[in-house]
Amino acid sequence: MGITQRIPLFEHLPEEQLQAVENFCTPLSIPSRGMIFHQGDPLERVFFLSRGLVKIYIYDVDGREQIMAVLGAGEMFPHAGFFDETTYPAHAQAIRDTDLVALTRQKLERLVLDSPDAAMALIRVQGRKIRELQARLQNLTQHSVLERVAWTLWQQVLEWGRVDAEGYVMSFPLTHYELAKWVGTTRESANRAMSLLRKQGVIQVQGEQLRILQPDVLESLAGGLKEAGKGRPGK
């Protein structure tokens, strides 16, 4: 048992039902930058992340990439359409070596019908994603590029960060181009925002490791838009 127990949708299932789910699941390993599915592919399976990072994105009418979400361990995707759509609504790509668990649409539907706990967990997941989307839309329309970059970094600290002897630290493998597409700006503007945060001593970047040196400043720049109910890493 181990893989599914680390996924929120399954963690409260009775042991017998959890074992049945594990028997239905298919483990997958995707290398960094490997594609998981393309927009328009037949929607046959739902995926659960046990390790790694995945970006969900689309292309706009001008062919420009627009990142919809970056997902970490415990997340499921796609977030919508798995009961009524016939194709995937976006592209999904691993942005570091990633381990997944795949469940067919039919098995997920049967699980939700048979288990009130799983149905409620799925509703909670969908509700959280709606709140995150609302916060992101507010961020894009009401805040400067610097504030949007700070908000995005702070969200990832809350989601994936940890505390060590020197403060808050997290792995952040996104390129500046991907960060720009996530916050809705140009790569040049995202570069300027990151450079300013470094020069002001708010963050430190070493390879794929990002350290938050002044969490109070970053949180203040983020405009208080962090998801309700989350505290700082390690607290």
pLDDT digits (tens, 9 = 90+) for 101-127: 998 888 888 887 877 777 777 787 777
Res. 166: pLDDT tops 90: no
**182-225: per-residue pLDDT in tens?**
888 899 999 999 999 999 999 999 888 899 999 889 988 887 54
Average pLDDT over residues 128-137: 73
Residues, the chain, total? 235
> Binning pLDDT at 50, 70 and 90, where does residue 229 land?
very low
CB atoms within 10 A of CB 77: 22
Greater pLDDT, 221 or 132: 221
Q: Are 225 and 139 in contact (CB under 8 A)?
A: yes
pLDDT at 190: 93
Mean pLDDT score across all residues of the chain:
83
List phi, psi (to 5°) of 58.
Answer: -130, 170
pLDDT digits (tens, 9 = 90+) for 51-88: 899 999 999 888 888 888 888 888 889 877 667 768 99
**In the prediction, which pLDDT does 132 show?**
74
Token pair, residue 31, equals 């290398």
Amino acid of residue 19: Q
Residue 1 clears pLDDT 50, i.e. is over it? no
Contact 235, 226 (CB under 8 A): no
pTM for the predicted model, two decimal places: 0.75
Give the contacts of 133 (CB within 8 A, at least 6 positions apart): none
Name the percent of the chain lying above pLDDT 90. 30
Residue 130: pLDDT band (50, 70, 90) is: confident
CA angle 14, 17, 22 (to 5 degrees): 120
65: which 2 tokens? 């990439």
